[in-house]
A and B are shown apart, each in its own frame.
Chain A
Amino acid sequence: MIEIDALTKVYGQAQAPAVDEVSLRVPAGSVFGFLGPNGAGKTTTIKMLAGLLTPTSGEVRLGGFDVARQRPAAMAQFGAVLEGSRNVYWSLSAWQNLMYFGRLKGLRKARVAERARDLLTGLGLWDRRDDKVGGFSRGMQQKVAIAAALIADPPIVLLDEPTLGLDVEATRTVKNWITEQSRELGTTVLLTTHQLDVAQELCDRVAVMRRGRLVADLPTRELLAGFRERDRYEIRVEGTVPPGFEAVTREGVTTISVRVSDPGEVYEVVARLRAHGAVLESLTQVQPDLEDVFLALVNEPSHAA
């Protein structure tokens, strides 16, 4: 479990805090998405979780251990992949990297070797274990970085933009792996990403930050449901539509977007279309995706969770 209480970080003489009174609970075994535009404070928060930055105020507990006061125990609770850095040594092989990072976490050599074998096999890197990581593709390097974060089998994994710059196949592998870690092994995963489809697919719960503050912290389904536009419908028809509708025609199919004050009005709209000779293909209530929600949250000046 990750517990963050009133976490604040002010850099030097900066007027505005980079992270401002953020409080969060990430339940054990869940995948938690930490979203926000550039400069929102996500990476600063991750670095405070990882003990790399000292908070100006507030507390962080990983697996029940206070990062500031119980640092050695807290450091044993997590592995991390940080954004914008190599994370692993390019002049060492995948095997040597995992052995190093495992022992750095305080594990015995034999235990690390066993775990490294499992991880490299699971990631399809076993045959390349003795090759230098510098010669790997970006996707393979990221796999090694994630394996290094998991080498000590920590209960918590912090992933800062884990799929950034990866191709479709590598992204799929990383996503599958995150799901497996959480669902099957009970690992708590906190991930930041700008790829909202990734967050929507993986995360049980999502928090959105803006200008250092949390503007939402809800289970993904609830967050999406909260933004469902109950009064907006999308109707697809074949043929022409009467004047007065917002319509887009592509390859013979016309899509109409209508807003209604009462669901019963939808029947009237369909009747008008039918009377005009249009053939109904589909009718759906508009479901927002995480991107819509995210944009709404970061663009609305006073939206709060």
Chain B
Amino acid sequence: MTTVTTPAGRESQREPAGLPEAPVGHTTGWWAMVLFICTESATFAAALASYFYLRFIGSGPWPPVADSRPSLLVPSVGTAVLVLGCVPMGIAVRAARRPGRLLAWVSLVVTMLTGVAFVVLQIVDYRGEWPDSTLSKDAYGSLFYSITGLHGLHVAVGVLMVAVLVASTSLRRIGGGEAGPVRIVAMYWYFLAVLALAVYGTVYISPYL
């Protein structure tokens, strides 16, 4: 046997199995979600940057004369609901680490409902805006619908993820100590809330500034 001096080498001599008793550190799934969120952030950064680029490259008023400023009531409620949806999601993560499954199940269902409410409110908002500004009338309308629509689509995907978690919890595949998937989906859910604030600030608030 060779003489080992490096930290890694010493360690492997002391514990031949080389394995910690319980798994530690972040899982590969956790890292994949972090990187997925990175690439999604870059997508939204490109979209929001395009919004401001097109706004400031032109010299006219924003929104253009033919459009009106977006109404604020419905999207404000929608964004608030989605952001507050982080609370039941957080509860679900904590609950999934404990033995019982009921609390995790209930909080996941509540989380899912906040997402559904957001998507419904977005459709309501579109119905209010549509005649005034449309996708193809001018660049303002194109940006308004494509950015909010892209975010709405992401929330719908998030709702689907949470729905799968609800089903897995019902079938006792997760929860009761097995919290990995809940943690990963929760990360995405928090990301959706941060995005909601960025989109809200850009598309709804910035035209008033």
A and B bind: no
Interface on B for A, CB 8 Å cutoff? none
